């Protein structure tokens, strides 16, 4: 069983920064591949960033150079550092995890591949 709890969402001004955290509770031997997704009102969920078990990362084009995904294994916590935030980044952000998705080439990961999700945290960016 895997449990994910996000935190760190807030309201910020355009150009500001936020760091989202996702506390991961899982078997110590679990090898989880992880991702951050977001869903804005009236829009479909989209992948933002992903991290495989070898530390490889991928980013959605609109956040490249602004967002950084990382994981502190000692703290069992996944992070999403978000800089230079824009109003279009406004959404509920979710972290997700799964073991089986690691078998799929990272560039093909989609939300449906992840079986474990957090409850989401709201990020609002105002201009």
Q: What is the pLDDT of residues 76-97, one digit of tens each?
A: 999 999 999 999 999 999 999 9
pLDDT at residue 14 in the model: 98
User: 80 near 36, Cβ under 8 Å?
Assistant: yes
> Is 66 exposed, middle or buried (CB count within 10 Å of its CB: 0-12, 13-18, 19+)?
middle
The model's confidence at residue 103, banded by pLDDT at 50, 70 and 90, is confident
pLDDT at residue 28 in the model: 80
Distances (CA, A) of 64 to 52, 56, 83, 85: 17, 14, 10, 12
pLDDT at residue 75 in the model: 94
Looking at every residue in the chain, the average pLDDT score rounds to 95
**CA–centroid distance for 46 within its chain:** 10
CA angle, corner 46, sides to 117 and 72, nearest 5?
A: 50
């Amino acid at each position: 069983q895997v449990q994910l709890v996000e935190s760190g969402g807030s309201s910020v001004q355009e150009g500001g920064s936020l760091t989202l955290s996702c506390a991961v509770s899982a078997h110590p031997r679990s090898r989880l591949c992880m991702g951050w997704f977001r869903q804005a009102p009236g829009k479909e969920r989209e992948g933002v960033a992903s991290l495989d078990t070898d530390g490889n990362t991928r980013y959605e084009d609109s956040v490249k150079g602004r967002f950084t995904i990382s994981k502190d294994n000692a703290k069992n916590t996944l992070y999403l550092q978000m800089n230079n935030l824009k109003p279009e980044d406004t959404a509920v952000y979710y972290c997700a995890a799964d073991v089986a998705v690691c078998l799929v080439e990272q560039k093909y990961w989609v939300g449906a591949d992840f079986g474990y999700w957090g409850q989401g945290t709201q990020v609002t960016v105002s201009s």
